[in-house]
Structure 1
Amino acid sequence: METKVAIVTGGNRGIGFEIVKGLCQKFDGVVYLTARNEERGQQAVKKLEELGLKPLFHILDVTCEKSIEDLAKHISTHHSGIDVLVNNAGILDFDKAISSYEDAKKLIDTNFTSLLTISRILYPLLTNTARIINISSDWGLLSNIRKQVWLDRLVKDDLTVEQILEFVNEFLNAAKMGKSAFFSIAGKYGDYKVSKVAMSALTFVQQRQFREEGKDISINCVHPGFVMTDMTKGMGDFTPERGAKAPLYLALEAPQSLKGSFIWHDCHHVNWDD
């Protein structure tokens, strides 16, 4: 019998680290902790090994196509496919409510655009009953967007990836024009909000595509709560361990029929577009 495989991006700290830990404790298979920095990734692995757990490590920079290809080559060489993929890697500078264009582009490339590359390179390795979990945010709810044209367009049943990219690019073009244009689409932390709304929308589009292809793959996005991590400067309501609760539910316990949903930190479904 082939060994199942779970992969967590950005798994060396915070919520990602706790998701890896939970998977190592309960997942019937091997668990890959990935990180873009090898030293920090190996340190995280060592911490888990000290708890008696046995994660595997692979370096992964989600913004680097070759890095994703290297991981895909490793998986295809050593395993028969991917059963669980947690897209957790993400960035946010909590000190910058308004970012420069360059900072906004870097954030969106990490939090959203990387998912398109991951989809192209890693998704062909998914098993037919694989589970994908996208770590979103309450800032990934559609209500964070201020422009009516996008409130209307992003909920359409025939939404395409190209249209999501139009939404993202409109924001980036606005970011080039300065503070007022930046604010006009999503307000403070608009780059993060746009990246997570785009992630949510992509989740629903890709679930529709899987269904049309006749695959039983599930893809859901999840708001883990306001979690005390390095990214939030230690502010928050929940510990990282509590923040991992809903992602682990989706990875391990949720019915396979749960597909294309936005899941709250307490594991209940919420309407993304309310």
Structure 2
Amino acid sequence: MVTKVAIVTGSNKGIGFEIVKGLCSRFDGTVYLTARNEERGRQAVKKLEKLGLKPLFHILDVTSENSIQEFAKYISDHHSGIDILVNNAGVLDFDKPVTSFEDAKKLMNTNFYSLLTISKFLYPLLNNDARVINISSDWGLLSNIRKQHWLDTLIKEDLTVDEILQFVNDFLQAAKNGKNSYISFAGHYGDYKVSKVAMSALTFVQQYEFIKQGKNISINCVHPGFIKTDMTNGMGDFTPERGARAPLYLALDAPQTLKGTFVWHDCHQVNWDD
């Protein structure tokens, strides 16, 4: 019997942990809780086991190509493919509204560049009716960008991955040029905003590619709400459990025809480029 597989990156705490909990309760298959720290990951699994749930753990550092490649090999060796993939891993230094170039590059490695590596090694394992959910943010809406050139470029129907990379690199150059250049690009927390705008744009480009390839794979991005987590120093409007609502909707309940959209925390679609 073929067992379905769901994977949530960066899921030892916060929204990711709650998504794993929801999947374990409702998904008819194997759910992988992943984390870059093995001890914290296994502790999270034990918490869920105490609730009668049975996630599996696998170490996964999304900033490491080797780690992603090893995980992909493990999944390939043990399963027939991936049915649900939630790209949840992300970082934000809430105490630094304007960061250094080095910090911005580090954030981009986790929040955006990792998606390209995941695409390279995990996407080939996606089953034909798989669902990919990218955890974005209201800061991932295009209106957060202040440079007109990129406002015009990122809404193109024929947008390419290379152009998204140029967008990210242009921001990193602005960060290298200093505070004024940084803020003129995307305001405070510009590194996080740019990473999530890039994630959103990549979602739409990749959905178009899946359709061109004739694959019935859906990929959507979602704003889970302003969630009270360690990343936000406990500030926010919703609990992590509430934050998991829209991602779980996309993973389990949304029609498979919902493709290449931006979904709000209350599960309705919004125009990304308004």
Shift in Å, 1:270: 0.1
Query: How do residues 93-112 of structure 1 correspond to structure 2 at under 5 angstroms?
Result: 93-112=93-112
User: In 1, Cα distance between the equivalents of 2:171 and 2:185?
Assistant: 7
Partners of 2:99 and 2:28 in 1: how far apart? 42
Alignment of 1:1-274 (within 5 A): 1-274=1-274
SS of the residue corresponding to residue 91 of structure 2 reads coil
Q: How far apart in 2 are the matches of 1:147 and 1:93?
A: 23
1:180-200: CA deviation from partner (whole Å, max 9, x where unpaired): 010111000000000000000
One-letter amino acid of the structure 1 residue matched with residue 270 of structure 2: V
- CA–CA distance in 1 between the matches of 2:181 and 2:36? 33
The total of aligned residue pairs comes to: 274
Equivalent residue letter for 2:48: L
Instruction: State percent identity of aligned pairs.
Output: 78
In structure 1, the residue corresponding to 2:183 is in which secondary structure?
A: helix
Cα distance in 2 between the residues matched to 1:273 and 1:172: 22
Amino acid at match of 1:126: L
Distance in 2 separating the partners of 1:15 and 1:228: 9
- Deviation string 1:114-146 (CA, Å, 9 cap, x unpaired) is 000000010000000000000000000000000
One-letter amino acid of the counterpart of residue 113, structure 1? Y
| TM superposition shift of 1:225 | 0.1
SS in 2 for 1:72: helix
Please give the TM-score of this superposition, normalised by the length of structure 1: 1.00
Partner SS for 2:232: coil
Deviations 1:209-239 (A, max 9, x none): 0000000000000000000000000000000
Q: Distance in 2 between matches of 1:125 and 1:69?
A: 12
Q: Aligned Cα RMSD in Å?
A: 0.3
Which amino acid in the other structure matches residue 158 of structure 1?
A: D
Partner secondary structure for residue 42 of structure 1: helix
Query: 1:149: how far off?
Result: 0.6
**1:223 aligned partner, one-letter code:** H
Q: Which runs of 5+ in 2 are unaligned?
A: none
Q: 1: CA distance between counterparts of 2:3 and 2:151?
A: 43
State the Cα deviation string for residues 215-264 of structure 1 (Å, max 9, x = none). Answer: 00000000000000000000000000000000000000000000000000
Deviation at 1:100, TM superposition (A): 0.2
2:139 corresponds to which letter in structure 1?
W
Superposed displacement of residue 160, structure 1: 0.2
Q: In structure 1, the residue corresponding to 2:250 is in which secondary structure?
A: helix
For 1:12, the aligned partner's letter is: N
CA distance in 2, matches of 1:20, 1:122: 18
Secondary structure in 2 matching 1:62: coil
Once the two structures are superposed, what CA deviation does each residue of 1:78-132 show, in whole Å capped at 9, x if it has no partner?
0000000000000000000000000000001100000000000100000000000
After superposition, give the CA deviation of every residue in 1:31-72 in whole Å (9 maximum; x if it has no partner).
000000000000000000000000000000000000001110
Scaled by the length of structure 2, the TM-score of the pair is 1.00
Cα displacement (A) at 1:266: 0.2
Rounded to whole Å, the distance in 1 between the matches of 2:68 and 2:197 is 23
Extract unaligned runs of 5+ from structure 1.
none
